[in-house]
Amino acid sequence: MNEEEIKKTVFQLLKNIAPETDPSLLMPEENIREALNIDSFDALQFIVSLCEKLKVDIPEEDYGKTSNLKSLIGYLIQKTKG
């Protein structure tokens, strides 16, 4: 899966979690939860959805690597390669 496909998937899943927002407007270094006003439950749902959709495992100790768009996309690129 390439970066553009991953980004599209991330935006789609974020839109499902926070339908009143436009995730495509996120800045690369902006905190996703803060910018989209996502609570911890919805954040967990987002992570689970990513795992299911991309068929990757994101262990709890890696959740910090998914806080902004830049780190999340980079992390997912590495996970989908391996």
pLDDT in tens, 27-66: 999 999 999 999 999 999 999 999 999 999 999 999 999 9
58-69 confidence digits (pLDDT tens):
999 999 999 999
CA distance 45 to 15: 12
Number of domains in the chain: 1
Strand partners, 68: 31
CA distance 62 to 45: 15
Predicted structure pTM score: 0.93
Judged by DSSP in three states, 31 sits in strand
CA distance 4 to 39: 26
CA distance 52 to 30: 24
User: Which residue type occupies 11?
Assistant: F
- Output the domain CATH number for residue 64: 1.10.1200.10
φ, ψ (nearest 5 deg) of residue 7: -60, -45
| pLDDT confidence bin for 82, thresholds 50/70/90 | low
Domain that holds residue 54: 3-81
Of 37, 29, 35, which is closest to residue 71 (Cα–Cα)?
A: 29
| pLDDT confidence bin for 79, thresholds 50/70/90 | very high
